[in-house]
Structure 1
Amino acid sequence: MIGIEQQGFIVPDPSRSSRKINWRSRASCRGTIVLSLNSRQQVVVYESLLELMCILLISSRGDLADVWDQPEPIRFTLPDGSHHEHTFDYRVTLTDGLRYAVAIKPIHHVEKYDFDLKLGYICAALPDAFADEVILMSEADFTRAQALNAQRYYEFTKKPDTDADDHIVRVAYEQHEPTVLEDLIAKSRLGGRGFRAGFRAIIEGKLKPLSHGKIGLQTMVSSEVPI
């Protein structure tokens, strides 16, 4: 679907959630987020802060082509013969065409209720046309720094700045040794634009961080990645 333009604003594609979300909850954070997918934008829903963090991490990959939030439920049968339904949190499609059904659960839920075992029965009932693989995500799969980096990257991609992005990478390749992001920004003379451009370059793989953790002004970067 192509976004409709209204008074210069491109209206994002609506959520495709298969079920109605109860927006009022004292136990979890619920809402919507607009993701940029190639040349379009799409609204997706989340029903917890964990779901929000996970979809931001997934979208920071750079090869996300489509997100189906709360897709149609999958019917499956347990060994005792009881019949059930499971709704994946997201089905994501990458630019290479691969489709992943994503289940997101807190690690304590996975361990307490043997959800990974249950997911095996769900996978066995998964139609071939629905997804190529199934992914289970919890807070144990990423660090707080990775989540913060993904959140900041999302904010920094709301307003593209291709000139700054190209310039910061060119300046990086003029350096003969690794340098901290703060010095790279000073050499680029881009000011605040330089930090956002450098941040995007790191997440997108155009610059290589030489340390793990939260990306900041003192992050050491290298221009080893070929242009």
Structure 2
Amino acid sequence: MSPRRTEAGCWFFFEKPPQGVSQPHGTPKRREIGLFAEASRGRSRVRERKLTSYMRETEFRMRPEHFIKQHMLNRQNGIEVDFSIPDATVWANPTSPRGYAPVLPSLGNRKPSPKSPFNYRGNQPSLDGQRIMYFESSVELKAGRIFRASRDVQELREQWPTVDYLGHDGQRHKHTFDYWVRRADGKRVAIAAKPFERLLELGTLRILRQIQRMGIPQYADSVSVVTEAFANDDDDANAGWILVSRENYNEGEYLAARELVTNITGAVRFWDLLRGAPIPGHRRTAIWNLIDEGLLQPLERGRITDVSLLVPAKTNEVTP
């Protein structure tokens, strides 16, 4: 069974319909079923509950299939994962463990409501890990994580700045940017982070062009926008690994991994760098530290996995 997304934005599952859910005349036995957001008024609540419950069951049945697929891919690629329980619990072993510190409030100009039926709401750590940063969409969440993992971002703020601009109606309006970053070269950028469809619906692009023409030198040198093309799942996953690796940096493991890749001249598979490590989890963290510093880089763009090919950087100097 596999899901497919239609142009209407609804998820369909290819599966035999549950008992009690009638089929339209002339449809194949394995028909497409789904629960539309705008259900027809004539559909009974009982039928909706049956269909919703059935879709939940099919979703749960898919989860073991994901594990099976990953297991088969590992076998195909010669990756042998040890699922045995160790005698002692293996913890992360950072050289300088962080102590607890009270979380400081956000410095943003606005605080989104905690719940919404339309998009993601929540918060994540700031760049220095001392404050919280609010987000109100999956694009903002992923973009914030990618910004935090980037070595080019030296300062990061969310829900700031708020600027006045003259609209096409001749009236003064206010706009609050989702992010503000200061790059390593000193350039300041005010960023709107929204799904592409929302940019079109809200007319945000027109607002950003007006602000860019007007100029906001007191806040930023330029205005930009990021969508799901930038805040994609692959880069978000890589950023998550980088951030976790920074938290668990171990000097000894890092030096051992760096010595391991010193004599590598071509491409090497990520998994092969974990072979022979006393604790593969610690070695994995160290490899991600090398990727974070630019000493190792993937041969192709995309999500970095155990089968990804890594190549050493052209120089052994750590890029700022």
TM interval, short-chain normalised: 0.7 to 0.9
Q: Give the deviation of 1:8 after TM superposition.
A: 4.1
Question: Are 1:151 and 2:212 matched, yes or no?
Answer: no
91 and 29 in structure 1: CA distance in 2 versus 1, 3 angstrom threshold: same
Higher relative contact order (CA 8 A, sep 6+): 1
2:179 to 90, 95, 108: 90
What is residue 64 of structure 1 aligned with on the other side? 153
Question: Are 1:120 and 2:209 matched, yes or no?
Answer: yes
What is residue 18 of structure 1 aligned with on the other side? 109
Mapped contact 2:161–2:219 kept (Cα < 8 A)? no
Q: Quick check: 7-16 or 161-170, which moved more? A: 7-16
What is residue 4 of structure 1 aligned with on the other side? none
Q: Give the deviation of 1:136 after TM superposition.
A: 0.3
Query: With structure 1 as the length reference, what TM-score do the two structures score?
Result: 0.85
Mapped contact 2:298–2:310 kept (Cα < 8 A)? yes
What is residue 123 of structure 2 aligned with on the other side? 32
1:160-179 deviation per Cα after TM superposition (whole angstroms, max 9, x unaligned): 22332332122111224321
Cα RMSD for the two superposed structures: 2.3
Cα distance in structure 2, aligned partners of 1:144 and 1:75: 34
2:135 to 46, 49, 57: 46
188 and 153 in structure 1: CA distance in 2 versus 1, 3 angstrom threshold: same
What is residue 223 of structure 1 aligned with on the other side? 312
Q: Give the deviation of 1:66 after TM superposition.
A: 2.0
Mapped contact 2:111–2:134 kept (Cα < 8 A)? no
226 and 116 in structure 1: CA distance in 2 versus 1, 3 angstrom threshold: same
Query: With structure 2 as the length reference, what TM-score do the two structures score?
Result: 0.62
26 and 107 in structure 1: CA distance in 2 versus 1, 3 angstrom threshold: same
What is residue 3 of structure 1 aligned with on the other side? none
What is residue 294 of structure 2 aligned with on the other side? 205
More strand by share: 1
69 and 59 in structure 1: CA distance in 2 versus 1, 3 angstrom threshold: same
Cα distance in structure 1, aligned partners of 2:111 and 2:264: 53
Cα distance in structure 2, aligned partners of 1:61 and 1:103: 18
Cα distance in structure 1, aligned partners of 2:232 and 2:134: 23
Unaligned runs of at least 5 residues, structure 1: 1-6
Cα distance in structure 2, aligned partners of 1:54 and 1:62: 14
1:70-129 deviation per Cα after TM superposition (whole angstroms, max 9, x unaligned): 124111112331221100011112343221111011111223444322211122334212
Q: Give the deviation of 1:188 after TM superposition.
A: 5.2
